[in-house]
């Protein structure tokens, strides 16, 4: 059985139950900008990408000079309640258990730094993570730069690192970085879509994710 001494998490749809909040913010921003409103499935598919890339995917005909205004309208709607969005049930317990196993924990997210710091503070989870990397600090998913930054920054062995995420963007990013991946089906992308990206394993709950990791962890050697 392969063992890991580091776990890298996506945030939205993996740790925080924010899929519907993001979808709603995208749709409301489209209304504000007088753009066609994307259906839920299309808006959810872009979750995990950098914000600019995500908005271009849902509004491909948006003039470049209107992107900044589109971003502002999205942030206006999302930041109204981002600090009250709940974590998925069981996440604090899983993170606490991983920390007790003395493995390295990190976050690689499509969020910007300001947005991640807001929810880290609101959720009181910041003390669990040894490093975090955001889409405005590196190339966005599925480019593997965020993962390389974490691996190099923490001195990790890629063969002992696993990425946890709820979208194909996470799984493909892990493939591109040469590391294993756990796809979770309780977030933005559906089971068939995730399965097609060929994750190392596909799980369907926080509890199942924690159980899969249990027994596959070894303390990191620094």
pLDDT 10s digits, 131-152: 999 999 999 999 999 999 999 9
Q: How confident is the model at residue 83 (pLDDT cuts 50, 70, 90)?
A: confident
Catalytic residue of the set 5, 12, 82, 170: 12
Catalytic residue of the set 5, 10, 82, 166: 10
pLDDT tens sequence across 29-79: 999 999 999 999 999 998 988 888 888 888 888 888 999 999 999 999 999
Question: Residue 12: which of 103, 97, 78 has the closest Cα?
Answer: 78
* Structure token pair of residue 182: 């756990």
What gap in Å lies between CA 43 and CA 35, rounded to an integer?
13
Rounded to two decimals, what is the model's pTM?
0.94
Known catalytic residue: 12? Answer: yes
The strands making up 180-184's β-sheet, listed across from edge to edge, are 131-134, 104-109, 6-9, 161-165, 180-184, 201-203
On the question of a cis peptide bond just before residue 142, with omega within 30 degrees of 0, the verdict is yes
The domain segmentation of the chain, as residue ranges, is 6-17+85-213, 19-83
Instruction: Choose between 222 and 166: higher pLDDT.
Output: 166
Known catalytic residue: 32? Answer: no
8 Å CB contact between 161 and 180: yes
Report whether pLDDT(82) > 90: no
What gap in Å lies between CA 132 and CA 150, rounded to an integer?
7
Report whether pLDDT(100) > 90: yes
Dihedral angle computed from the Cα positions of residues 159, 164, 168 and 171, in that order, rounded to the nearest 10 degrees: 0
* Residue that the structure tokens 């995208």 belong to: 26
Relative to beta strand 131-134, strand 104-109 is parallel
Is 6-17+85-213 assigned to CATH 3.40.50.1000? yes
* Residue that the structure tokens 């003395």 belong to: 102
The dihedral of CA 41, 171, 102, 126: what is its sign?
negative
pLDDT of residue 222: 59
Q: Is 144 helix (H, G, I), strand (E, B) or coil?
A: coil
What gap in Å lies between CA 27 and CA 123, rounded to an integer?
25
* Domain 19-83: CATH architecture, name and number where available: Orthogonal Bundle (1.10)
């Amino acid at each position: 059985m392969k063992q890991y001494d580091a776990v890298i998490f996506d945030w939205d749809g993996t740790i925080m139950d924010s899929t519907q909040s993001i979808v709603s913010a995208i749709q409301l921003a489209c209304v504000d900008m007088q753009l066609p409103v994307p259906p839920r499935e299309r808006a959810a598919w872009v979750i995990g990408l950098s914000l600019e890339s995500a908005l271009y995917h849902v509004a491909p005909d948006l003039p470049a000079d209107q992107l900044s205004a589109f971003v502002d309208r999205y942030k206006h709607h999302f930041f109204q309640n981002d600090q009250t969005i709940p974590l998925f049930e069981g996440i604090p317990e899983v993170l606490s258990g991983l920390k007790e196993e003395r493995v390295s924990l990190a976050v690689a997210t499509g969020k910007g730094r300001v947005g991640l710091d807001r929810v880290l503070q609101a959720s009181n989870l910041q003390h669990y993570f040894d490093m975090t990397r955001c889409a405005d600090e590196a190339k966005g998913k599925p480019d593997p730069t965020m993962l390389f930054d974490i691996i190099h920054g923490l001195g990790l062995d890629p063969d002992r690192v696993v990425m946890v995420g709820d979208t194909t963007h996470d799984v493909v990013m892990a493939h591109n970085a040469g590391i294993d991946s756990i796809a979770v089906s309780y977030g933005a992308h559906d089971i068939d879509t995730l399965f097609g990206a060929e994750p190392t394993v596909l799980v369907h709950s926080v509890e199942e994710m924690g159980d899969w990791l249990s027994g596959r962890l070894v303390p990191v050697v620094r």
